[in-house]
């Protein structure tokens, strides 16, 4: 994979997990990386060589300020990775038990946050003539999500949004936009889902999830680095003819559907 020397990358959801792994990888390959997250401080997973800023991705004003600051200090934005996301409440009651409050919270972060990132960075990239946006969707965008309705719906919308951004980015410039769809990756989000399932009285739900995890064709959950490698490829010049496309990183889980 080629170098990112001379490129500026803005990555959200980067305090830990896939975001931190991606930030570290791009920094190692020469990029100036600005890692953003709502957390006041990053986890130990994020390299100290990566610049860190606080950003609530659902806040329009904060997005404008962060992008303006990055451009002012570094001269542009060549890569945007919209990685911030939450799982919401994993509820055994399904759709009927999903509150409007939780629905809106998940949509604000997963969908509104991705939309705002694309909207604020697209004019910068168009002005440069090129750029790459990678939106983190999910394997859940392809299938019904009985116990996490808001999460699945938000990621399905991110997948569609990605295609619209890809088309917009091709108008008068070469700004690419693609989506990455992780399956079971060993991150804090998966840990949160497991904790919620342990707290529910629906044993059949827990058993179903466990059977699914055990049946991944490649035999194990993925790591943040597995997803980061794919994101880095899509962000690189080697993927210069790829836009508006969807990429699974799920150990073959989709083959079981």
Q: Domain residues for 135? A: 8-184+224-248
**Catalytic option among 52, 142, 147, 151:** 151
In a domain, 20, yes or no: yes
103 part of a folded domain: yes
Q: Report pLDDT for 9.
A: 98
Q: Specify the residue for token string 């943040």.
A: 224
Q: Flag whether 190 is in a domain.
A: no
**194 inside domain:** no
* pLDDT at res. 216: 80
pLDDT score recorded for residue 125: 98
- Mean pLDDT per 10-residue segment, the chain (257 residues): 91 94 97 96 90 98 98 98 90 83 96 98 98 96 89 97 98 98 70 53 52 70 89 97 96 81
* Domain assignment of residue 12, yes or no: yes
pLDDT (0 to 100) of residue 90: 77
Could you confirm whether 151 is annotated as catalytic? yes
Residue 136 falls inside a structural domain: yes
Task: Determine the pLDDT at residue 197.
Answer: 54
For residues 1 and 29, the answer to whether their CB atoms sit within 8 Å is yes
**CATH code for the domain of 140:** 3.40.50.720
Overall number of domains in the chain: 1
Q: Give DSSP secondary structure letters for the chain.
A: ----TT-EEEEES-SSHHHHHHHHHHHHTT-EEEEEESSSS--TTS-TTSEEEE--TT-HHHHHHHHHHHHHHHS---EEEE---------TTGGGG--HHHHHHHIIIIIIHHHHHHHHHHHHHHHHTEEEEEEE--GGGGS--TT-HHHHHHHHHHHHHHHHHHHHHTSSSEEEEEEEEE-SB-SHHHHHHHHHHHHSS-HHHHHHHHHHHHT-TTSS-B-HHHHHHHHHHHHSGGGTT--S-EEEESTTGGGG-
Residue 234 near residue 178, CB atoms below 8 Å: yes
Q: Does residue 36 belong to any structural domain of this protein?
A: yes
The answer as to whether 18 is a domain residue is yes
pLDDT of residue 257: 73
């Amino acid at each position: 994979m080629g170098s990112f020397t001379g490129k500026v990358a803005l990555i959200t959801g980067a305090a830990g997990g896939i975001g931190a792994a991606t930030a570290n990888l791009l920094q190692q390959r020469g990029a100036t990386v600005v890692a953003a997250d709502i957390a006041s401080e990053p986890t130990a997973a994020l390299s100290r060589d990566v610049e860190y800023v606080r950003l609530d991705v659902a806040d329009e004003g904060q997005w404008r300020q962060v992008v303006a600051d990055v451009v002012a200090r570094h001269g542009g934005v060549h890569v945007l990775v919209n990685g911030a996301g939450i799982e919401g409440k994993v509820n055994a009651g399904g759709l009927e038990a999903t509150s409007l409050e939780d629905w809106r919270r998940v949509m604000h972060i997963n969908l509104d946050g991705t939309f705002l990132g694309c909207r604020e960075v697209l004019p910068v990239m168009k002005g440069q003539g090129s750029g790459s946006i990678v939106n983190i969707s999910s394997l859940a965008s392809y299938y019904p999500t009985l116990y996490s309705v808001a999460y699945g719906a938000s990621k399905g919308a991110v997948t569609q949004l990605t295609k619209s951004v890809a088309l917009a980015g091709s108008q008068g410039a070469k700004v690419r936009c693609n989506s990455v769809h992780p399956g079971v990756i060993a991150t804090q989000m998966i840990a949160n889902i497991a904790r919620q399932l342990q707290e529910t009285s629906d044993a059949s739900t827990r058993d179903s999830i466990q059977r699914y995890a055990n049946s991944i064709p490649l035999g194990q959950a993925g790591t943040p680095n597995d997803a980061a490698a794919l994101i880095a490829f899509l962000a690189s010049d080697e993927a210069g003819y790829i836009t508006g496309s969807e990429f699974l990183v799920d150990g073959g889980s989709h083959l079981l559907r």
